[in-house]
Amino acid sequence: MYLINTEYKVETPEGVDLTAELAGPIPRILAFIIDISIRFGVIYVFYLIFQSLNWTVGPVFIAYFLLEWFYPTLFEVLYRGQTPGKRIVGLVVVNDDLTPVSWNSSIIRNFLRTVDFLPVLYVGGLITMILNPHYKRLGDLSAGTIVVYKNRTKDSEQLPKVKAIAPNLTLELEDQVAIVNFTQRHSEFSSDRAQEIANILEPIHGLQNKNAVNHLHGLGKWYLGGKD
């Protein structure tokens, strides 16, 4: 059964599955607005300096040209796929095999902004992005790049204070993950809800309510490497 999601999967030749979450239009518009504000800010400061010194404003236009065309490329390649705007929103540009973006693809994707800009103000790019299953605009399509979320390292969550319990049956990986999730996210849902969920597994662990929750927390702690 097909489930709606934004997951992007790549299998490496070694058989390792890499996954990433694709980033859609709204966060990308936001990142773009931040970037363009930065660019205009820089140009405006430049202009003010030149004007106050009574210099010719020609170089300001050259600076504008350079920033407009090379700001995204330079940042994407030299700054691990992130312009400042993307960094703030937490996005990153990668090749569509999830390798870091190269000069080649970054230049193609950013120079084709001109096409995405048509008819005006990036409407073409926006429409393509919404219609494409991988949220690619035309520049992304031709350069073979995607925009995904960068995983942020979370602070280690406070685990429940229970003793780790060695599991006495081998669970499949996905089931282990479910129990680990149950343990890590214990502070997010109410204790009533936790008991309700833990009771679902009664046929497996044979416990109820508080005991069931504690048992599952213990297992989760074990799977996370806690041994005491």
Partner 1 sequence: MDLNKIQVSPKKRTPWQAVDVGFKMATQWYRSLFILYALPFFLFSIGIFLVLSDHPIWAGLIIWWLKPLFERAPLFFVSRALFGEVQPVKTVFNQWLKILKFDWLGSLLWRRFSFTRSYDLPITLLEQVSGKTRAKRLRVLHQQGTSESILLTMMCFLSVFVFQYALIALLALLVPIDYFGDVFNWYSSNSIHVSYYQIASVLLTVSIIEPFYICAGFMLYINRRIELEAWDIEISFRNMLEKEKYIGAGKLPTILVFGALLVGGLTFSPTPVYAQSNDLEHQVLHNDFDQVNNKDEAKSRINDIFKGEDFTNEETISAWRLKSFEYDGDLNWLEKLINAFGRWFEKHFANSGSGDIEVSGYLNNVAFIIKALLISALLIVISILIYRYRTNIAYLIGYSKKLPLNNSTKETNTLFGLDVTQESLPENIPEEVITLFKAGNTRQAIGLLYRATLSKLMTEKGFRFDESYTEGECLAVVTQGDDNSLTGFISDMTTVWQQLAYGHVQPTEETLNTLCNRWSGVFSNAE
Q: Quick one: which of 73, 75, 81, 89 contacts partner 1 (CB under 8 A)?
A: 89
Helix 209-223 with 173-184: angle, nearest 10 deg: 110
Minimal CA–CA distance to 11: which of 3, 24, 20, 2?
20
Residues 181-220 that bind partner 1 (CB under 8 A): 181-182, 185, 188-189, 193-194, 197, 200-201, 203-206
Q: Does 14 bind partner 1 (CB under 8 A)?
A: no
- How many residues would you count in the chain? 228
Contact 198, 213 (CB under 8 A): yes
Residues 141-180 that bind partner 1 (CB under 8 A): 149, 168-172, 174-175, 177-178
Site string for partner 1, 28-67 (x = CB under 8 A): -xx-------------------------------------
Q: Is 198 exposed, middle or buried (0-12, 13-18, 19+ CB in 10 A)?
A: buried
3-state secondary structure at position 172: coil
Of 137 and 205, which CB lies nearer to partner 1 in the complex structure?
205
Site string for partner 1, 99-138 (x = CB under 8 A): -------------------xxxxxx--x---xx---x---
Q: Whole-angstrom Cα distance, residue 8 to residue 24?
A: 12
157: left (phi over 0), alpha (psi -120 to 50) or beta: beta
Residues that bind partner 1 (CB under 8 A): 3-7, 21-27, 29-30, 89-90, 118-123, 126, 130-131, 135, 149, 168-172, 174-175, 177-178, 181-182, 185, 188-189, 193-194, 197, 200-201, 203-206
